[in-house]
Amino acid sequence: MTETDAQPAAAAVASAGADTAAVGATGTAQAAAESPKGFRLFEGKLHRVQRGHGKTFVQGPPQPPPERVRRPARVAIMLALAHKIQEAIDRGVARDRAEVARRLGLTRARLTQLMDLTLLAPDIQEQILFLESVDGVEQMSERELRQIIRRELWGQQRPAWSGLRLQR
């Protein structure tokens, strides 16, 4: 198709209705009659879809959206890991947090941040363990939880937790 041929084809596509469109020589819908300039026009139902940053037309109805991917939230995984580490220390598998940090390749400061999750009130920990990440979107971050951990008394943590949950 030459550059001069592309202009009438574009005009034919633009003048077509919403459900049907005339497509130039590269289209694959039902064949129609020859045009006077040697174009072959095709008619058929096309659906507009977005792929990346551009939009394009495809034959047939659009695909249904993929099923949502659900997995445990990152903070839930970190809390479970903190409990496993504490259990290993209690059983004597690891001598102390410093040894665990060396084995896991973490700094002692990062390990302390993880272990501080176990200082949350038990009911808050239970709710955290049931959190889910849907399609990679986390409900809350570990950093947000650290604000609650700073409150030493469980009675002070619960209102802060409720406030954090209401923000979401």
More confident position, 15 or 104:
104
More confident position, 13 or 56:
56
pLDDT tens-digit map of 20-51: 444 444 444 444 455 667 777 767 776 677 77
**CA 84/CA 62 separation, integer angstroms:** 46
More confident position, 22 or 152:
152
pLDDT tens-digit map of 98-142: 999 999 999 999 999 999 999 999 999 999 999 999 988 998 999
| 97: three-class secondary structure by DSSP | helix
Assessment of whether the complete model's pTM goes beyond 0.85: no
Per-residue model confidence (pLDDT) at position 129: 95
Tokens of 67: 């099923």
Domain coordinates of the chain in residue numbers?
6-59, 70-167
pLDDT tens-digit map of 38-90: 777 767 776 677 777 777 776 777 678 888 899 999 999 999 999 999 999 99
Evaluate whether 94 touches 63 at the Cβ level (below 8 Å): no
**What's the one-letter identity of residue 158?**
R
**Partners of 48 in the beta sheet?**
57
Nearest alpha-carbon partner for 148 in 124, 112, 131, 130: 124
What band does 4 get if pLDDT is binned at 50, 70 and 90?
Answer: very low
